[in-house]
Structure 1
Amino acid sequence: MVLICLVAVAVFIILSIAPSISQSPSEDDIDGPTDDQPTTGNITLVLLRHGESEWNKLNLFTGWTDVDLSDTGRSQAEAAGKLLKEEGFDFDICYTSYLKRAIHTLDIVLDQMELEWLPVTKSWKLNERHYGALQGLNKSETAEKYGDEQVKVWRRSYDVPPPALDPDDERNPANQEQYRGIPAKDLPLTESLKDTVARVIPYFEEVIKPKMLAGDKIIIVAHGNSLRALVKYLENVSDEDIVGVEIPNGVPLVYEFDSDFKVISKRFLTDQNDAS
């Protein structure tokens, strides 16, 4: 009889606590986003042109030439990182090019923000526009040799590239170590801005944009023309107008988008008003 009573009591206890066990929240019941539930709200993207390079300082055509930052460029990168930290920015993934002036700018920014551990993806598709046979030449001397109008066409037209490199030229990226494994046919010998757009935008659409739509906070540290290509795409700027767009060295450009990836606002971080 005692045994029967003990069994009955045990059954009663189990039945009494079973509802509370069954009511424990499942993964689907927990508030907040999961890996399969992108965050909602506005999307933010930060674009940053590298700090001044040694060849910027010397007024040389740089393109894919892998020159480093000047002292001024390092100071610009430090200032950008401090400002981003002060403004409360945070990132999940960073993107940059294969060129050290952009890579080192990003390194300095992350150091200032105490975010050195963030993942960084480097892609040659974010490189500067390739200036072909003009790379390494002084801009003023080139204008004296070919005429101001011709150099202006090479620099500022949308679809006219400078003279191409010879394939055997040591400046051909196919002959350089950092581009090993990339088919030579994919690497440029010269580029117009139109060519740069055709290189940058598919990479952005296929790699970066899906991360943004999934909720990742992104910074892209790149170059004047590769960022100009992104500005053209993001704002639907015409071919004629994009050639006049200037992106200063070392000044963060902040975009905010709605859930349909339409631009709500943009501003340079040194100015709290919307950038024109």
Structure 2
Amino acid sequence: MTGTLMLLRHGESTANEAGTFTGLLDVPLTPRGERQASAAGRLLRSDHIRPDIVVTSTLRRAVRTAEILCEVLGTQVPTDAVWELNERNYGALTGMTKTDARHTLGDDAYVRLRRSRTGTPPPMSPQLLETLRSSAALHDLPEGALRPTEALSDVIDRVRPVLQDRLLPMVRAGRRVLVVAHGNSLRALCACIDGLTDPELEKLNLPTGQPLQYHLAATGALVPRGGAFLDPVAAQHAAALVAAEGGT
């Protein structure tokens, strides 16, 4: 059996709906987000895709998306929650509306912080950091798992070992692996898988609820470059909406 790796951004969360920077806030799915998770499960079912293992972040919007998807598939799948796949910490922007952030920062700085590899938001306060640390999704994590702020390059650094040491060995062993995570942690994974340049990374928009699949080539690489959405038309439309908002 040829192994596959599928990436899925969680369904719409309450913070997505409100247009705020979510980061490490542990927010639930909206009813629309739950429907997106169900639709992703139906896509997998119609393509006869049954994951052998699901790897999620520790945040409940990703965990719940995976639960709903597996319910639709009608199967129990071993699930592993990995903190390195958590969303990027947006620092002092956490909880701020994207409209207010754009107004405060200006268009150029706003886009650089959201889309570039190295743009770094101002750090959050120690009080907010401790509040986040006390949440159910984050309280058992190692000290280094919570930083006051992160650039996308920091997220790339933490997801690369997950790809190399956990995901690729399973795929190369012929397993079908589904990763349910977040806009930025999945962008970081794609950067590692595809060796994305800075311009390519800036243009990458991953919509919620749209499964993106890679296959294992004879060379041991994941192909095709950029992956293949199970529903490319719907994914392209949804990605355009993400881009219009200023990106993931």
Which TM-score band applies after superposition, normalised by the shorter structure?
A: 0.7 to 0.9
Structural RMSD (CA): 2.1
8 Å Cα contact 2:172/2:216 also seen in 1: no
Matching residue's letter, 1:150? A
Question: Would the alpha carbon gap of residues 172 and 237 (structure 1) be closer, same or farther in structure 2, given more than 3 Å must change?
Answer: farther
Q: Which residue of 1 aligns with 2:120?
A: 161
Structure 1 stretches lacking a partner, 5+ long: 1-38
Deviation at 1:198, TM superposition (A): 0.4
Secondary structure of 2:104's counterpart equals helix
- 1:144-223 map, 5 Å: 144-170=103-129, 173-223=132-182
Q: Which residue of 2 aligns with 1:230?
A: 189
8 Å Cα contact 1:47/1:254 also seen in 2: yes
Q: Which runs of 4+ in 1 moved over 6 A?
A: none
Give the paired residue count: 234
Matching residue's letter, 1:256? H
Q: Which residue of 2 aligns with 1:93?
A: 53
1:82 aligns to 2:6 (yes or no):
no
Matching residue's letter, 1:114? G
Q: Which residue of 2 aligns with 1:5?
A: none
Deviation at 1:245, TM superposition (A): 0.2
Question: Would the alpha carbon gap of residues 185 and 86 (structure 1) be closer, same or farther in structure 2, given more than 3 Å must change?
Answer: closer
Match of 2:201 among 242, 247, 271: 242
Distance 2:111 2:232 in 1: 30
Deviation at 1:270, TM superposition (A): 0.8
Deviations 1:169-228 (A, max 9, x none): 256543444333433234222111111100111122112221111222110011111111
Distance 1:133 1:153 in 2: 16
Matching residue's letter, 1:112? V
Higher radius of gyration, 1 or 2: 1
Deviation at 1:234, TM superposition (A): 1.2
Distance 1:171 1:137 in 2: 18
Distance 1:243 1:171 in 2: 31
Structure 2 stretches lacking a partner, 5+ long: 237-248
Question: Would the alpha carbon gap of residues 271 and 135 (structure 1) be closer, same or farther in structure 2, given more than 3 Å must change?
Answer: same
Deviations 1:65-94 (A, max 9, x none): 111111111111111101100110011111
Considering Cα pairs closer than 8 Å and 6+ residues apart, tell me whether 1 or 2 has the greater RCO: 2
Identical residues among aligned pairs (%)? 36
Match of 1:269 among 199, 214, 230: 230
Distance 2:80 2:176 in 1: 14
Deviation at 1:60, TM superposition (A): 0.3
Question: Would the alpha carbon gap of residues 131 and 172 (structure 1) be closer, same or farther in structure 2, given more than 3 Å must change?
Answer: farther
8 Å Cα contact 1:154/1:160 also seen in 2: yes
8 Å Cα contact 2:123/2:148 also seen in 1: yes
8 Å Cα contact 2:152/2:184 also seen in 1: yes
- Which stretch of the first structure deviates more once superposed, 218-227 or 177-186? 177-186
1:49 aligns to 2:23 (yes or no):
no
- 1:111-122 map, 5 Å: 111-115=71-75, 117-122=76-81
TM-score using structure 1 length: 0.79
